Structure 1
Amino acid sequence: MPSYMSPSSHSETESVKYVHTISEAGRLLPSASQWNSIEIDFNLVPQSSSEYGSLPSRYSKSFEYELIITDKQYFKRFLYISVSVVLLILVLILLVELLPHKHSRHGSSKNLTLAVNQALTFFDAQKSGNYPKNSPVKFRGDSGLQDGNSSTPPVHLVGGFYDSGNNMKFTFPTAYTMTLLSWTVIEYHQKYDDIQELGHVGIAKNDMSCWERPEDMDYERPVSICDSSASDLAGEIVAALSAASLVFKEDKDYSGKLVKSAEKLFEVATKEEPDRQGTYTRSDDACGRESSSFYNSSGHTDELVWGGTWLFFATGNVSYLGYATDAFDAAKSNETSIDNGILYWNNKLTATAILFTRLQFFHDLGYPYENAFGESSEMTDSLMCSYLGQNWDKTPGGLILQRSGNEAQLQFAATASFLSKLYSDYLQVLVRSGVNYILGDNPMKMSYMVGYGEQYPTQVHHRSASIPWDGNHYSCEEGERWFKSKDPNPNVVVGAMVGGPNHFDNFTDERGQPVFTEATISGNAGLVAALIALHHPPRHASHDKNGTHLGLDKTGLFENILF
Structure 2
Amino acid sequence: MSMYGRDPWGGPLEINTADSATDDDRSRNLNDLDRAALSRPLDETQQSWLLGPTEQKKKKKYVDLGCIIVSSKIFWWTVIVVAGAGVLAGLIAVLVKFVPHHHDHKPTPDNYTAALTTALKFFNAQRSGKLPKHNNISWRGNSCTKDGDPSGQFKDLAGGYYDAGDAIKFNFPQSYAMTMLSWSVIEYSAKYEASGELNHVKEIIKWGTDYFLKTFNHTADTINVLVSQVGSGDTSGGMSTPNDHYCWTRPEDIDYERPVATCSSCSDLAAEMAAALASASIVFKDNKAYSQKLVHGARTLFKFSRDQRGRYSASSTEASQFYNSTSYWDEFLWAGTWLYYATGNNTYLQLATTNGIARHAGAFWGGPDYGVFSWDNKLIGAQVS
- Shorter-chain TM-score bucket reads 0.5 to 0.7
Deviation, structure 1 residue 222: 0.3
Name the CA shift for 1:176/1:101 in 2 (closer, same or farther; >3 Å): closer
Q: Counterparts of 1:180-195 in structure 2 under 5 Å?
A: 180-195=180-195
Match of 1:307 in 2: 335
Cα displacement string for residues 52-77 of structure 1 (whole angstroms, at most 9, x for unaligned residues): xxxxxxxxxxxxxxxxxxxxxxxxxx
1:354 aligned partner, one-letter code: V
Q: 2:298 aligned to 255, 262, 271, which one?
A: 262
- Equivalent residue for 1:235? 271
Q: Within 5 A, what are the aligned runs for 1:477-496?
A: none
Q: Secondary structure at the match of 1:207?
A: coil
Change (3 A) 1:190 1:100: closer
The equivalent residue for 2:373 is 343
Q: Is the 8 A contact 1:150 1:222 kept in 2?
A: no
Normalised to the residue count of structure 1, the TM-score between the two structures is 0.41
Q: 1:243-265: per-residue Cα shift (whole Å, max 9, x none)?
A: 00000000000000100111122
CA distance change for structure 1 residues 245 and 234 in 2, over 3 Å: closer, same or farther?
same
Task: Write the letter of the residue equivalent to 1:173.
Answer: P
Which residue of the partner structure matches residue 92 of structure 2? none
Corresponding residue to 1:280 among 312, 325, 343: 312
Specify the SS of the correspondent of 2:263. strand
| Structure ID, larger Rg | 2
Give the deviation of 1:234 after TM superposition: 0.8
Aligned partners of 1:331, 1:98: CA distance in 2, in Å?
49
- Within the candidate set 320, 329, 333, 2:359 is matched to 329
Alignment partner of 1:177 is 2:177? yes
Q: In structure 2, how many angstroms separate the alpha carbons of the residues matched to 1:318 and 1:290?
A: 38
Distance (Å, rounded) in 1 between the aligned partners of 2:247 and 2:330? 35
Q: Answer whether contact 2:124 2:137 (CA < 8 A) is retained.
A: yes
Structure 1, residues 94-133: CA drift from partner, whole Å, max 9, x if none?
Answer: xxx999999xxxxxx9521111111101110000000112
The structure carrying a bigger helix percent of its residues is: 2
CA distance in 1, matches of 2:319, 2:155: 19
| One-letter amino acid of the counterpart of residue 280, structure 1 | Y
Q: In 2, are the aligned partners of 1:150 and 1:220 still within 8 Å (CA)?
A: no
SS in 1 for 2:190: helix
Asked whether the equivalents of residues 267 and 304 of structure 2 are also in contact (C-alpha less than 8 Å), the reply is: no
Aligned residue number for residue 207 of structure 1: 244
Distance in structure 1 (CA, Å) of the matches to 2:176 and 2:336: 14
Asked if 1:129 corresponds to 2:129, the answer is yes
What percent identity do the matched residue pairs reach? 46
Match of 2:382 in 1: 352
- What letter is aligned with 1:337? G
Correspondence for 2:262: 225
**Structure 2 counterpart of 1:157:** 157
Per-residue CA distance 1:130-158 (angstroms, 9 max, x = gap): 01122210011110111013563452100
Q: Residue type matched to 2:307 in 1?
A: K
| Counterpart code for 2:263 | C
The structure-2 alpha-carbon separation of the partners of 1:196 and 1:281, relative to structure 1 and needing over 3 Å to count, comes to same
Post-superposition Cα deviations, 1:406-465, rounded to whole Å, max 9, x if no partner, equal xxxxxxxxxxxxxxxxxxxxxxxxxxxxxxxxxxxxxxxxxxxxxxxxxxxxxxxxxxxx
Find the residue that maps to 2:130 and give its secondary structure. coil
In structure 2, what residue type is equivalent to 1:152? G
Q: Which runs of at least 4 in structure 1 moved beyond 6 Å after TM superposition? A: 97-102
Unmatched 5+ residue regions in structure 2?
1-102, 204-230, 235-242
Q: Distance in 2 between matches of 1:101 and 1:129?
A: 36
Tell me, in whole angstroms, the C-alpha distance in 1 between the residues paired with 2:252 and 2:268: 31
Segment drifting more, 217-226 vs 199-208: 199-208
Distance 2:365 2:266 in 1: 18
Long gaps (5+) in structure 1 = 1-96, 103-108, 356-563
Shift of 1:353: 1.1
Tell me, yes or no, if structure 1 residue 290 matches structure 2 residue 318.
yes
How far 1:334 sits from its partner (Å)? 9.5
Q: Does the aligned pair in 2 maintain the 1:150–1:221 contact within 8 Å?
A: no
AA matched with 2:177: T
Structure 1: distance between partners of 2:106 and 2:179 = 35
Give the residue type in structure 1 aligned to 2:328. H
Look up the match of 1:115. Answer: 115
**In 1, are the aligned partners of 2:182 and 2:279 still within 8 Å (CA)?**
yes
Q: Which residue of 2 aligns with 1:35?
A: none
Contact 2:268 2:305 in 1 (8 A): no
Q: Count matched residues.
A: 245
Aligned to 1:278, the other structure's residue is in SS state: coil
> Whole-Å Cα distance in 1 between the matches of residues 106 and 154 of structure 2?
57
